[in-house]
Copies of this chain bind each other. A is one copy, B any other.
Amino acid sequence: MSSTLVVHHLRVSQSETIVWLCEELGVAYDLKCYDREQTLLAPDVYKALSPLKTAPVIEDVDTYQPNPEHIKLAESQACVEWISRKYGQGRLINKPWDAHWKEWLFWWHFTHGSLQPALQMKLLTAALPKDHPGAKVADSRIEHYLQLIDERLGKSQYLVGDDFTAADLIMVFPLTTMRAFIPMDLSAYSNILRYLKEIGERPAYQRTFEKAETKLKPMLNANPPSLFSM
């Protein structure tokens, strides 16, 4: 079976989000998996897939054009929007007239606008003394953001009311698998832990790991095993 849509999954990376999206939407796709090098970096064959050199990358045929064109696309949120709008009737993406639209806008953009930059700063602070001002900035931002997420999840089942949306899809990677690189203790955040437990019960999330991450267990607990140190 061959589909037009190809998802290139770099193992232990953000591209798990795209596999998961396809499973949630029930979209047909071809999955190509790549292991990291011993250096933990993506192999050259993965880097060659897109100018960005990072995961995710999808391939597809752009039938929006008068002359359909074979394309490659990177950036998680861009891939999510492409697949949802082209194959999923825009499902999981809120519209201006939907309830909770302002919450949708905030949480859909918060993960990459605020949370992930702080986590990426944290990666660097491993090289700094614990009391270095830069290390403190990253730690206090992350703590603040986790509190916000936890408060929100104390008020509704998902980030945007009680319906699972693409804002959840984008949020779960930094709270889970990204901890393979950046240890993060979630014990103080009971609502986040409740949320991750329920995410782990979603059949589409389970199928994502069965198909794309056979050696990796979903990191849904307060303290998952630390796989890598950077």
Contacts and interface: CB of A to CB of B under 8 A. Distances in A.
**In the complex, which range does the number of interface residues on chain A fall in?**
35 or more
A78 interface: yes
Contacts of A48: none
A135 to B, nearest CB: 8
Contacts of A225: none
Interface string A114-130: 10111011011101100
Nearest to A138: B124
Contact of A117 (B81, B120, B127, B132): B120
Contact of A114 (B54, B97, B125): B54
A181 B148 CA distance: 27
A72 to B, nearest CB: 9
Given A77-B113, A86-B96, A118-B120, 18 more contacts: A64-B96, A64-B101, A64-B102, A75-B105, A75-B109, A75-B113, A75-B114, A77-B105, A77-B109, A78-B109, A82-B102, A117-B120, A120-B120, A121-B124, A123-B134, A124-B134, A127-B128, A128-B128
